[in-house]
Amino acid sequence: MTPRNRNTPPRNTPPRNTPANTKSGFVVKELCFSYAQKTLFENLTVSIKEGEFCSVVGPNGAGKSTFIKLLARLLEPSAGEIIFRDRPLSFYRRKELAQRIAYVPQESYFALDFTVIETVLQGRHPYLKPLERYHSSDYAMARSALDRLQISKLAEKGINNISSGERQLAVIARSIVQHPSVILLDEPLNHLDLSHQQQVLTMLLELNREGVGVVLVAHDLNYAALVSERMLVFSEGKLVEDGRPETLLRADIVQRHWGVKPLEGRHPESGKPQIFLPIS
């Protein structure tokens, strides 16, 4: 087998900040979705621009996780459609879609005890031909992602023999080596300590500056306000608010949708809005 030159971006992966990145990101049109007898979305219409950093927030059961699973095509709508980069999402082959969209779930489970480096390398599968082996450049990408998340020391450990937080970091590293145009993350800060939370949020901002779109499901409204340029607020399967954190992170809006009236403030470094729960 003749190795190909892998020092340039993989085939079908447009370089950052090229005309290909001027296409629209996601366009959701009159989308409907139900679980058994429960209707979660009905005629949902919303767009997310290419390269946008968008946080999806809302109370428990609002439909946040379901929404990004629909964007990742892990779930299929019962009606309506999702357009991604000017093509219906359903028109993409799975391998082609995996070259463009990375998805990080809340929890990851592995039936086989891959090593951490093997787990991260799985992000290169969409670029391999059948029976093609990983190239040295694939290993270099995987090790670079581990370095970026400061978990290189875990490379040869079993993925099921590390903590849930470390496993989450490995899954995030796997998404990086996919070289996606957008990364969808469902509460990625779960199980992470403060230093790793800061590290992941900083990395997402860096990826976004490099041209990667980010759609982040978050429970922590303060984190969402610090990193995102736009917030989508869901409640009971409906999109109830859509705007910049500066306009949405207000006591009246939080009380309306979460049932708690917080104190308002500003981040001392960035000046961005923050909220604080009154505890007496």
Amino acid symbol at 23: K
Of 19 and 233, more confident? 233
Instruction: Give the 3-state DSSP-derived string for 170-216, with helices as H, strands as E and coil as C.
Output: HHHHHHHCCCCCEEEEECCCCCCCHHHHHHHHHHHHHHHHCCCEEEE
**Where does the pLDDT of residue 110 fall: very low under 50, low under 70, confident under 90, or very high at 90 and above?**
confident
Annotate 200-221 with b (16+ C-beta within 10 A) or e (fewer).
Answer: bbebbeebbeeebbbbbbbeeb
Task: Decide if 100 contacts 182 (C-beta within 8 A).
Answer: yes
Q: pTM of this prediction?
A: 0.88
Q: Write out the two tokens for 160.
A: 């099921």
- Residues β-bridged to residue 243: 231
- Distance in angstroms (rounded) separating the CA atoms of residues 144 and 138: 10
Please give the backbone phi and psi of residue 191, each rounded to the nearest 5 degrees, phi first. Answer: 75, 0
**Where does the pLDDT of residue 18 fall: very low under 50, low under 70, confident under 90, or very high at 90 and above?**
very low
User: Per-residue pLDDT for 147 more than 60?
Assistant: yes
- Distance in angstroms (rounded) separating the CA atoms of residues 108 and 122: 14
Average pLDDT estimate for 110-125: 92
- Distance in angstroms (rounded) separating the CA atoms of residues 208 and 220: 20
Average pLDDT estimate for 28-46: 91
- Each residue of 195-254: pLDDT tens digit? 999 999 999 999 999 999 999 999 999 999 999 999 999 999 999 999 999 999 999 999
- Distance in angstroms (rounded) separating the CA atoms of residues 59 and 56: 11
Tokens 């099921």 — which residue? Answer: 160
Least confident segment among 15-29, 38-52, 57-71, 155-169: 15-29
Average pLDDT estimate for 15-42: 74
Cα separation values, 106 from 83, 130, 171, 218, Å:
24, 30, 10, 11
Tokens 């993989």 — which residue? Answer: 10
Amino acid symbol at 44: L
User: Per-residue pLDDT for 29 more than 50?
Assistant: yes
Amino acid symbol at 74: L
**Where does the pLDDT of residue 56 fall: very low under 50, low under 70, confident under 90, or very high at 90 and above?**
very high
Residue 23: its pLDDT value, please? 61
User: Per-residue pLDDT for 14 more than 60?
Assistant: no
% of the chain residues with pLDDT over 70 = 92
**Where does the pLDDT of residue 109 fall: very low under 50, low under 70, confident under 90, or very high at 90 and above?**
confident
Q: Three-state DSSP class for 238?
A: strand
Residue 279: its pLDDT value, please? 85
Of 107 and 5, more confident? 107
Residue 36: its pLDDT value, please? 79
- Write down the mean pLDDT value for the chain: 89
Residue 39: its pLDDT value, please? 84
Q: Write out the two tokens for 94.
A: 């799975």
Average pLDDT estimate for 74-96: 94
User: Per-residue pLDDT for 5 more than 60?
Assistant: no
Tokens 């997310």 — which residue? Answer: 48
Average pLDDT estimate for 39-56: 95
- Each residue of 263-277: pLDDT tens digit? 999 999 999 999 999
Average pLDDT estimate for 65-77: 96
